[in-house]
């Protein structure tokens, strides 16, 4: 069984037992979180698509860790104008393990 959930402004295709990195959520390590914005649930050939969410569907997950992604380097330059700007960014994430998908 798999599902498509929406969290942090992004959509993720998940299955039970997977670990995914999502946008940071305020939850302690080891706590259980529930995602109720399930856009689609599928099992084999049967697929249930929500309008926009599947009613009654939920995904339970456990928070594994918090961390930061690799640095993304930003470099801006205007040619012949003696302008250069260096910048970096590291995005925070929360790693969760999908426990169960209920449709």
pLDDT at 85: 98
- What is the spatial distance between Cα 98 and Cα 35, in angstroms, rounded to a whole number? 10
Percent of the chain with pLDDT over 70: 100
Is the separation of the CB atoms in 3 and 18 below 8 Å? no
Q: Give the β-pairing of 2-7 and 38-43.
A: antiparallel
| DSSP SS3 for 79 | coil
Residue whose pair of structure tokens reads 């918090």 in the numeric block: 66
For the stretch 8-54, pLDDT in tens is: 999 999 999 999 999 999 999 999 999 999 999 999 899 999 999 99
Token pair belonging to 29: 């390590």
Is 66 exposed, middle or buried, given 0-12, 13-18 or 19+ CB atoms closer than 10 A?
A: middle
pLDDT at 78: 98
User: Residue ranges per domain, the chain?
Assistant: 2-102
């Amino acid at each position: 069984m798999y599902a498509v959930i929406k969290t942090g402004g992004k959509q993720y295709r998940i299955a039970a037992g997977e670990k995914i990195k999502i946008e940071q959520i305020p939850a302690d390590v080891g706590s259980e979180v529930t995602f109720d914005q399930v856009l689609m649930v599928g099992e084999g050939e049967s697929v249930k698509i929500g309008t926009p969410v599947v009613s009654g569907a939920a995904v339970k997950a456990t928070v594994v860790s918090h961390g930061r992604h690799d640095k993304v380097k930003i470099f801006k330059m205007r040619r012949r104008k003696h302008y250069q700007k260096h910048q970096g960014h590291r995005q925070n994430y929360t790693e969760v393990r999908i426990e169960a998908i209920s449709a």
